[in-house]
Structure 1
Amino acid sequence: MKTYLVMIGRTDNAWLNAGVEEYYKRIARYAPFEPIVIQDIRRGASMPEKVLKDKEGALILKQLSGGDILVLLDEKGRQMSSREFSVFVQKQMLAGIRRLFFIIGGAYGFSDAVYQRADYQISLSKMTYSHQMVRLIFAEQLYRPILF
């Protein structure tokens, strides 16, 4: 199984990039993994939030094929402990899933089309994190199941 982490926009913080890249390297040592960064869509003053989410959603969905599993990292998703998340990832591996996609949405969340396509929604916490910090937190959590 190959795991993908799809994100909207780049991170400019060097210290954050260093941490994220460290976990990406660790993950890739044990399992096929690929981060995918989708370029930010510039939101002009006249662009409604829904239009922005729809454009980002189209770019996200473009990454997927028919049998792929799509997991949204979303504040409304199911909360799991690290062990529960590890079991979740292992179940996907044992189910013979070829490609597992985790998605970090843009600042305004996901489009309706992405929600409809999603197989799962997971919340990392009741707390709110910046989309940049989620990259590091999630990469660390993704690394854990690979070790068990």
Structure 2
Amino acid sequence: MNKINIYQIAKSSNDEFNKIIEDFIKMSSKYSKIEIHNLFNKKIAKAQTISDIEAKKSYSEVFEPFLNSGYNIALDVLGKRVDSFEFAKLLQNSAVINFYIGGAYGFEANFLQKCDKKISLSELTFAHKIANIVLLEQVFRGLCINNNHPYHK
């Protein structure tokens, strides 16, 4: 059983999206341990009011400590588009898989270069909660594909 971490620049909240997120985590728990890490601090809040460059720099500072702990996949609009079967293969790459969802201004190019893979969920930009749900659904679908569960059909 592998572990999947989702690191995102977001404040923790308890709203109607959380039930859906929790449901996907629970359904996936048979195959993988999934944790969501909301990363937001005063430095990020301030940086976002200064410029996109400062904001991206502050995102990298909170993300980079986690880069040494597994296979790192950044979700980026310019990343490679993959289908569900290619996505499922990504979930086989490591005992620990880290997904990164950037802040309002995306990622620094330097951070993206440090990641093992850059993928796009869509050409559309999603709010964090929506991106989270889409990602978790694809994680569950990929785990089902990898474990011959009929969900993906």
In structure 1, the gaps of 5 or more residues are none
More helix by share: 2
| Residue 125 in structure 1 maps to residue 122 in structure 2 | yes
| CA distance 1:51–1:31, shift in 2 (3 Å) | same
| Residue 53 in structure 1 maps to residue 56 in structure 2 | yes
Tell me the distance in 2 between the aligned counterparts of 1:146 and 1:45: 36
Aligned pairs for 1:20-39 (under 5 A) are 20-39=21-40
Relative contact order higher in (CA < 8 Å, ≥ 6 apart): 1
- Worse-superposed segment, 133-142 or 123-132: 123-132
Tell me the distance in 1 between the aligned counterparts of 2:100 and 2:48: 26
User: 1:68 maps to which residue?
Assistant: 70
Q: TM-score, normalised by structure 2?
A: 0.82
1:105 Cα shift? 0.5
1:11 Cα shift? 5.4
1:121 Cα shift? 0.6
Residues 69 and 99 in structure 1, CA contact (< 8 A), matched pair in contact too:
yes
Percent identity between the aligned chains? 26
CA RMSD between the two structures = 2.0
1:69 Cα shift? 1.4
| CA distance 1:86–1:47, shift in 2 (3 Å) | same
Residues 2 and 99 in structure 1, CA contact (< 8 A), matched pair in contact too:
yes
Q: TM-score, normalised by structure 1?
A: 0.85
Residue-by-residue CA offset, 1:67-104 (whole Å, 9 max, x unaligned):
621101110011111122113323x1xxxx23211111
1:23 Cα shift? 0.9
| Residue 18 in structure 1 maps to residue 32 in structure 2 | no
* AA partner of residue 116 (structure 2): D
| CA distance 1:44–1:89, shift in 2 (3 Å) | closer
Residues 47 and 55 in structure 2, CA contact (< 8 A), matched pair in contact too:
no
1:117 Cα shift? 0.6
SS of 2:29's partner is helix
In structure 2, the gaps of 5 or more residues are 146-153
| CA distance 1:44–1:102, shift in 2 (3 Å) | closer
Tell me the distance in 1 between the aligned counterparts of 2:88 and 2:104: 27
Tell me the distance in 2 between the aligned counterparts of 1:46 and 1:75: 23
